[in-house]
Amino acid sequence: DNPLNIIKWNINKHYLRELAAKGIEIVPTLWCDNITEREIPAYFEQLKTNELVIKPCVSAGAFDTYRLTLPKALEQQNELLNKFKQREFMVQPFISAIIEEGEFSLFYFDDQFSHAILKTPQHNDYRVQEEFGSSIIKVDPEPALKQHAEKVLKVINTSLLYARLDFVRTSTGFALMEAELIEPSLYFNLDDSSPQRFVNAIERRMKRLGM
């Protein structure tokens, strides 16, 4: 598995803030410790957006994630206050490329590129997880996308058995959405050679450890 210190670090999405401070492009993000009625409209102003996403800093699978316009946010105000009044959360502008193109995932085994996929949500949804009916296909990542992924790995600066790096295209290039380093789905079913590459990665690491 990946090192314990990396797993602990990766549990809370504050790791994205640390990566951003080291030069990794992420989606503009407000990091919040609590929520009040007065702050909800201010999020739209601060991010200069008509639509945003609110999600917990510790979560998985789009759990407790909200895509909101201002009218919808005011309509769901009580629910938002109950969900986040004592919970760290993050606020981001909704990136339309998620529904127009999708989210790219690049997979690395023992720090070597294995394969890449594109996850596109179904009509009238924004969630790219397969349990929500998204379309998932294997793709060949363009050079700029691989360069972004390898920059993330370089900044993390720890040898990893596996990494899934999720990106979205923005007006200024690719932005990291997540670095999934805690037993993510590796989508072996979309690349016939990927299981063997993963086995090879495990064997290489075991040899280095003298096992």
173-187: average pLDDT: 94
**What are the pLDDT digits (tens) for 11-66?**
999 999 999 999 999 999 999 988 888 889 999 999 999 999 999 998 876 678 89
- pLDDT above 70 (res 112): yes
List the one residue out of 91, 87, 95 whose CA is nearest residue 29.
91
Rounded Cα distance, 199 and 109, in Å: 9
Question: Which residues on neighbouring strands pair with residue 93, listed in sequence order?
Answer: 52
Q: Does the model's pTM come out above 0.85?
A: yes
| Residue 62: strand, helix, or coil | coil
Give 189-207 pLDDT, tens digit per residue: 999 999 999 999 999 999 8
Segment 103-131 mean pLDDT: 84
